[in-house]
Structure 1
Amino acid sequence: MGRWTTSLIDEMVAGRWVNPETGQPGRVPYDIVVIEDRLDGAEADLVAKLGFSGRLAVVSDENTHGVMGQRVEAALKKLGSVESVVLDHPHADEANVAALKDRLRHADAVIAVGSGTINDLCKYVTSLDGRGYCVFGTAPSMNGYTSTTASITIASGLKTSKPAHAPKGVFIDLAVNAAAPTYLIAAGFGDCLCRSVAQVDCWLSSRLLGTKYSNLAFLIEIPDEKELMRRAPALAKGDIEAVGYLHRVLTLCGFGVSFTGTTNHGSMGEHQISHYIDCFAGKRHPGTLHGQQVGVASLSMARLQAQILASDKPPVVAPTRIDEADLRRRVGAEVAPICLAEMAHKALDHAGAEAMNAKLEALWPTLRAELQGFTLPVEAMRTALAASGGPTTAAELRLDVGFYREAVRHAREIRRRYSMLDLAADAGLLDRFAETQH
């Protein structure tokens, strides 16, 4: 296996790991997860172990086909007929879902070769009829390889997390992944940098609104997260060991969805900011990756959380204010009702604001200490992200700074998940904070 092992991942896949929250075996819905220094020559054996045969479709894109797709196609010919499906600059949206569903209609099983978009498309399309699929990852650019949800942009332009299903197998050739462009590796690091800020948001929501919270999804990541943070500079050099740790953290974050049934532990305020950028930047979008945006947004969330937690007095909230006319201007007439419906789940009226203030007054000393226990120093996060080769500001993303500030102010409107963005907005603190972000 090389210089490190995947023993925890292996135990979870085999069903030998015991979930400390339930005392029961905590198996995840994957037949095989393999993260090795090299998989060259093992592709057919790995796929055969999944029981795939007959008509196989290997799906890649214009980049990943040359990186690994051709190699996988050639290796799988011993198992059955192989159709090469090479997508041209695909996006994970409803139009591409429909097109891929048609192209794969004759396939008995699907093999994805790629990362975020390719994996999400294949995962979602095969989940519609239950066909098996597996994925050969080509870059550690996101945590979705082992997630049972797919990020799909719907016709209105809103990015959503769709229920899907797990791949039967996840196969990571670290030599291939370590050779990926630095910005892809740094994007994966940015995507998992959110653990601390997401944990703050999740615990805050649990304590103030009574939403479900599971510590497990965070606990299984943290030991590898500590090792990964130390190795951030090595990511920019394509170091196989560092990329191995990155894949471990990304894999365990995906596993967390299986244990909790939600993506909350890896997607709170920081992801809402990234989703807002993707949904509403339009021509202002610089073409940056989700993980790159999450990294920058995680730093903004960490600063906001630190600012609010620095006070020994709780914030004082007022009823939630939503400028519906401005909302419709920003997101369009079709999306605005969706946002208003999401906000209805967490918006405070006068009675709700009074109750929230009473709760904050009673809880603040304890809640503040609890939340501070989850945090990482903002400067340590920024330094690690920069060392990995990732952007740390909106300007470095080449994103219009004014629009980024808009995203910080209004990202809370697109999902019902309650985060520090909501608390800050209701307390009248968010607008001023957003103006400091660049």
Structure 2
Amino acid sequence: MGRWTTLIDEMVEGRWINPETGKPGTVPYEKVVIEDHLDGREADLVTALGFKGRVAVVCDENTHGVMGARVAKALQAAHNSGISSVDTIVLDHPHADEANLALLREKTRHVDFLVAVGSGTINDLCKYVTATDGRAYCVFGTAPSMNGYTSTTASITESNGLKVSRPAHAPKGVYIDLAVNAAAPTYLIASGFGDCLVRSVAQFDWWLSHRLLGTFYTELPFDLEIEDEKQLMARAPGLAKGDIEAVGYLHRVLTLCGFGVSFTGMSNHGSMGEHQISHYIDCFAGDRHPGTLHGQQVGVAALTLARLQRQILDDKNPPRIGPTKIDEADMIRRVGPEIAKVCVSEMKQKAFDAAGAEALNAKLNEIWPKLKAELEAFSVPVDVMVKALKDSGGPTTAEELGIDVDFYREAVIHAREIRKRYSALDVAADAGYIEAFAQNEH
């Protein structure tokens, strides 16, 4: 067993006991391999999954040169493996959207299974296409830029421009050559670190939702990754230098975070208020979008949430909530009538009328000292988070992202509208100070 897949191997093989159920906890993967080098093993890794027949190696113009051509060549040279043909599909600057899903379906309709070679976009496209037509796929990751390699959901931009997380399925195999991944551009590595940095703020938000609204919560996904997170935070400077040890810990945290979705059926442990800000940027920036990656945006948004959560905790009194304001006319102005309709529906699922607000205030007054202590336990000091993200080579402000500051502030104020998940953004908005808070974000 590889040193990087301790615990991961136990889960994949069904030997790990879920402490919440006392029963073996399994994940829907046949193999997860994270090693310093995978040179010469590509064909064996794929054929060990039982893949036979016609295969398409799917990559983009960058990952083809990085690893796609190498994987295709290895599969073409695999004798007596059961693979009858190998096509290489090189997508041109793809996005994970409806148009590229249709394109990939058409280009691969004649093959039996897919081998994705890339990171976020390539993985999501292959994952969703195969999930919808019953084929299998595996993935060779080329950059530790996000936690989706071991997630059973795919982030897809719909035709109306709204970015959503769609149920998909797991790759049969996930293969990480750390030498390849450590050589990835620094901004891709820092993007993955940004995606990992959310743990503390997401845990704060999820626990807050659980305590105030009674939503489901479990410590399990946090327990899986917390020790590796400590090791990763200590090695943040190594990420900017392409250090294999640092990138190895990054992939472990990304993998275990993805596994958490398998055990909980949801992504709350790694996606709360900070992801809503990033999704708002992707959905509505339009020509103002600087081309930044999801993880880069999430890292900056995590710092915003950390500051907002600290403001909540530093107040000796609990926040006082008012009735939720849903301004549909303003939503239509900002995002159009079709998406506004979706946003209104999401908001109504967590909105408070006057009586509900008073009931929540009474609850906050009763539990605030205990709740405050519980939330403090999840928090990481903001300056520690800022330094780690900066050390990794990632941007730490909207200005460094290249995003218009006024638009970023709009995202902070209105991001809560796009998803029913309840977070510190909702608390600040219903308490009437989200606008004032956002004016200090830049």
TM-score (norm 1): 0.99
Q: Could you say which residue in structure 1 is the equivalent of 2:11?
A: 12
Shift of residue 18, structure 1, vs aligned partner? 0.6
Cα shift readout 1:299-343 (whole Å, capped 9, x = no counterpart): 000000000011221000000012221111111111100000000
**Structure-1 separation of matches of 2:345 and 2:327:** 14
Within-5 A mapping of 1:40-79: 40-77=39-76, 78=78, 79=83
Q: Which runs of 5+ in 2 are unaligned?
A: none
**Structure-1 separation of matches of 2:157 and 2:205:** 24
**Structure-2 separation of matches of 1:145 and 1:6:** 14
2:364 equivalent to 1:365: no
One-letter identity of the residue aligned with 1:220: L
One-letter identity of the residue aligned with 1:345: Q
**Structure-2 separation of matches of 1:70 and 1:53:** 20
Question: What is the RMSD computed on CA atoms of the aligned residues?
Answer: 0.8
Shift of residue 80, structure 1, vs aligned partner? 2.8
Q: Which runs of 5+ in 1 are unaligned?
A: none
**Structure-1 separation of matches of 2:199 and 2:405:** 25
Is the partner of 1:373 in helix, strand or coil?
Answer: helix
One-letter identity of the residue aligned with 1:214: T
Within-5 A mapping of 1:82-161: 82-161=86-165
Q: Could you say which residue in structure 2 is the equivalent of 1:348?
A: 352
Q: 1:257 aligns with which of 257, 261, 275?
A: 261
Q: Could you say which residue in structure 1 is the equivalent of 2:431?
A: 427
Q: Could you say which residue in structure 1 is the equivalent of 2:326?
A: 322
Within-5 A mapping of 1:226-265: 226-265=230-269
**Structure-2 separation of matches of 1:264 and 1:181:** 29
Is the partner of 1:95 in helix, strand or coil?
Answer: helix
**Structure-1 separation of matches of 2:198 and 2:16:** 25
**Structure-2 separation of matches of 1:68 and 1:45:** 16
**Structure-1 separation of matches of 2:10 and 2:213:** 35
**Structure-1 separation of matches of 2:11 and 2:222:** 15
2:412 equivalent to 1:408: yes
Q: Give me the identity figure in percent.
A: 73
Shift of residue 396, structure 1, vs aligned partner? 0.2
Q: Could you say which residue in structure 1 is the equivalent of 2:192?
A: 188
Shift of residue 351, structure 1, vs aligned partner? 1.2
**Structure-2 separation of matches of 1:182 and 1:328:** 38
One-letter identity of the residue aligned with 1:14: E
TM-score (norm 2): 0.98
2:168 equivalent to 1:164: yes
Q: Could you say which residue in structure 1 is the equivalent of 2:35?
A: 36
One-letter identity of the residue aligned with 2:274: E
Shift of residue 130, structure 1, vs aligned partner? 1.6
**Structure-1 separation of matches of 2:309 and 2:395:** 20
Shift of residue 42, structure 1, vs aligned partner? 0.2
Structure 1 runs (4+) greater than 2 angstroms displaced: none
Q: Could you say which residue in structure 2 is the equivalent of 1:273?
A: 277
One-letter identity of the residue aligned with 1:219: D
Cα shift readout 1:178-209 (whole Å, capped 9, x = no counterpart): 00000000000001100000000000000111
Q: 2:290 aligns with which of 265, 277, 286?
A: 286
Shift of residue 364, structure 1, vs aligned partner? 0.6
Contact 2:151 2:262 in 1 (8 A): yes
State the aligned residue count. 437
2:401 equivalent to 1:397: yes
One-letter identity of the residue aligned with 1:370: E
**Structure-2 separation of matches of 1:323 and 1:144:** 34
**Structure-2 separation of matches of 1:114 and 1:5:** 20
One-letter identity of the residue aligned with 1:68: M
2:384 equivalent to 1:385: no
**Structure-1 separation of matches of 2:308 and 2:5:** 35
Q: 2:202 aligns with which of 198, 204, 207?
A: 198
Cα shift readout 1:333-391 (whole Å, capped 9, x = no counterpart): 11100000000100111111011111111111111100110010000000000000000
